[in-house]
Amino acid sequence: MEFTAEQRLDDDVLEREFTLGEIPGILWTPGPAPAPAPLILLGHPGGLRRMYPRLAARARHCAHDGFAAATIELPGGGDRRRFAVVEQARADLRRALEAGEPVDDDIVSRLVLPLVDQAVPEWRAALDAILSLPEIGGPVGYSGGVIAIGVRLAVVEPRISAALLFAGSYVPRAMFDEARKITIPLQVLLQWDDEGNDRQLALDLFDAFGSTEKTLHANMGGHTGVPRFEADSANQFFARHLR
Amino acid sequence: MEFTAEQRLDDDVLEREFTLGEIPGILWTPGPAPAPAPLILLGHPGGLRRMYPRLAARARHCAHDGFAAATIELPGGGDRRRFAVVEQARADLRRALEAGEPVDDDIVSRLVLPLVDQAVPEWRAALDAILSLPEIGGPVGYSGGVIAIGVRLAVVEPRISAALLFAGSYVPRAMFDEARKITIPLQVLLQWDDEGNDRQLALDLFDAFGSTEKTLHANMGGHTGVPRFEADSANQFFARHLR
């Protein structure tokens, strides 16, 4: 991991850009950090530059409660090498949605599975690098989408102790068996009228999660309409499980 | 309204029993109350004495955040006159559940509608009396079950500004039209595996509510397994809307 830029934000949060091989990422750490901070990995749909304002706001909100936060670019996202098979599937998904057709599991599988297969080892490598820094402690939480990446990470990565999953993207049926294997505490966010997601699929996925502690927060509105108060609720969730 | 007993609890909360005609009730007010406190009405399934430990815990949790809380006995509950038609319906419901039969809307209507029709004017009369006390201000919230009573109150009682509804009991389909008329902010609690409720009915009801601000919190477990952290979340919800 190589730091490429750093700035101290006006709330004293330290923001550092880094690269991990070819993968760009950002790490935010709380201002005066007396002890190693627990870490929250911030999931997103890809395109770090485009997502930056929202990611930075989420990260700073984490930092204000004493958490470090980090994110990396997704495979095929931002300036990274295009991911042909996923782009084809994304075009098929867009076409189906525009035509008002049901989104079939084949498209979802072609869109999501290759992304998960490539992204998850990258997140784990980022975790290795970030947890080696003295200012970062454990335990680790995952927060956000792509929900299928969060699901896979929650199953395979034992350092992740709790996950706040944003049910704002499709999950292939093949991953429901993985969902059943999750045992860590979950908080699941669902936008009731998400234009790019299937409500019933999200409810079925919530039902499938194997965790005994899982909470669904469903709010009105579309994909980007998650209410502001959910950010506080997220920090309270992580405070219960990462301290 | 006549106060019949009072005690100062160890956290300085003042608990006063009262009667309103034939209806017993309890009012809790925060210890040092510099300004009139907003009021939260605590709904419950009937049987004040049986429910007292849980109601008192909820009320004290409200009071610790500066809210007054009040509740009254339901029609047919506790020592009040039996409510023959409702008791018959309750016996029918129990029989259907024990036989593993689907709970049909006829039973639910016979159980719930008479209760709502009688209880709601009583809650409104209690509100008149309690809001006349100088230590109680507005606005008012409703918190708990019976959810059908909360639904009706949210529609007909303009002094109620926000409601936390516990989706832990059946609602007759006839009341879905009332649910569509609700416009106040709602937080809806659902126990995912509530043995005495229908999950899909609760999700349909949440969908029907007319409010633009409504949040569903679904947690694992049965009817009485609402996690402790939901009490904090409830106070945060009321703090957003009653202050």
> Residue B172 corresponds to which tokens in the numbers above?
């007759």
* B177-182 mean pLDDT: 98
pTM of the model: 0.93
pLDDT at B237 over 90: yes
Tell me how close the Cα of B204 comes to any Cα of chain A, in angstroms. Answer: 12
CB contact under 8 A, A216 and B212: no
**Gap between the Cα atoms of A4 and A18, Å rounded:** 5
* A215: nearest CB among B206, B217, B240: B217
**In chain A, what residues touch B229 (CB-CB under 8 Å)?**
236, 240
Positions in chain A short of pLDDT 70? 33
pLDDT at A196: 81
Where does residue A63 rank: exposed (0-12), middle (13-18), buried (19+ CB within 10 A)? buried
Tell me how close the Cα of B82 comes to any Cα of chain A, in angstroms. Answer: 38
The three state secondary structure string of B155-203 is HHCCCEEEEEEECCCCCCHHHHHHHHHCCCCEEEEEECCCCCCCHHHHH
Under the phi-then-psi rule, with left for phi > 0, alpha for psi from -120 to 50, and beta for the rest, what region is B219? beta
**What is the CATH topology of the domain spanning B2-242?**
Rossmann fold (3.40.50)
Tell me how close the Cα of A220 comes to any Cα of chain B, in angstroms. Answer: 6
Taking CA atoms, what residue in B is nearest to A190? Answer: B216
> Residue B28 corresponds to which tokens in the numbers above?
């809790």
Contacts of B12 (CB under 8 A, 6+ apart): B30, B31, B32
Q: Would you list which residues of chain B are within 8 Å, Cβ to Cβ, of chain A?
A: 192, 203, 206-207, 211-220, 227, 229, 232-233, 236, 240
Question: Is-contact A40 A62, C-beta < 8 A?
Answer: yes
Q: What residue segments make up the domains of chain A, in order of their start?
A: 2-79+118-242
Under the phi-then-psi rule, with left for phi > 0, alpha for psi from -120 to 50, and beta for the rest, what region is A72? beta
Residue in the block written with tokens 């409200």: B62
**Helix, coil or strand: residue B32:** coil
A142-158 pLDDT per residue, tens:
999 999 999 999 999 99
Distance of CA A145 to the CA centre of its chain: 4
CB contact under 8 A, B218 and A215: yes
**What is the CATH topology of the domain spanning A2-79+118-242?**
Rossmann fold (3.40.50)
Query: To probe the interface with B, which of A180, A184, A193, A217 has the most B CB atoms within 10 Å?
Result: A217
pLDDT at A138: 83
B198-233 pLDDT per residue, tens:
999 999 999 999 999 999 999 999 999 999 999 999
Query: To probe the interface with B, which of A191, A215, A232, A235 has the most B CB atoms within 10 Å?
Result: A215
CB contact under 8 A, B229 and A207: no
Residues in chain B: 243
- Reported as a pLDDT band with limits 50, 70 and 90, residue B33 is low
Contacts of A191 (CB under 8 A, 6+ apart): A168, A197, A218, A219, A220, A221, A222, A223, A225, A226
| Max CA pair span of chain B | 55
B120-171 pLDDT per residue, tens:
999 999 999 999 999 999 899 999 999 999 999 999 999 999 999 999 999 9
Taking CA atoms, what residue in A is nearest to B234? Answer: A233
**In chain B, what residues touch A206 (CB-CB under 8 Å)?**
218
Tell me how close the Cα of A156 comes to any Cα of chain B, in angstroms. Answer: 23
ipTM of the complex: 0.89
**In chain A, what residues touch B206 (CB-CB under 8 Å)?**
218
At A128, phi and psi to the nearest 5? -55, -50
For the residues of A95-118, what is the DSSP string, one character each?
Answer: HHHHTT----HHHHHHHHHHHHHH
At position B180, the amino acid (one-letter code) is R
Tell me how close the Cα of B74 comes to any Cα of chain A, in angstroms. Answer: 30
**In chain B, what residues touch A229 (CB-CB under 8 Å)?**
236, 240
B105-122 pLDDT per residue, tens:
999 999 999 999 999 999
pLDDT at B35: 83
**Gap between the Cα atoms of A242 and B74, Å rounded:** 42
- Reported as a pLDDT band with limits 50, 70 and 90, residue B32 is confident
> Residue B194 corresponds to which tokens in the numbers above?
């509530």
Torsion angle (degrees, nearest 10) of CA B207, B208, B210, B213: -20
Question: Is-contact A55 A70, C-beta < 8 A?
Answer: no
Contacts of B224 (CB under 8 A, 6+ apart): none
Query: To probe the interface with B, which of A194, A220, A229 has the most B CB atoms within 10 Å?
Result: A220
pLDDT at A35: 83
B45-82 pLDDT per residue, tens:
999 999 999 999 999 999 999 999 999 999 999 999 99
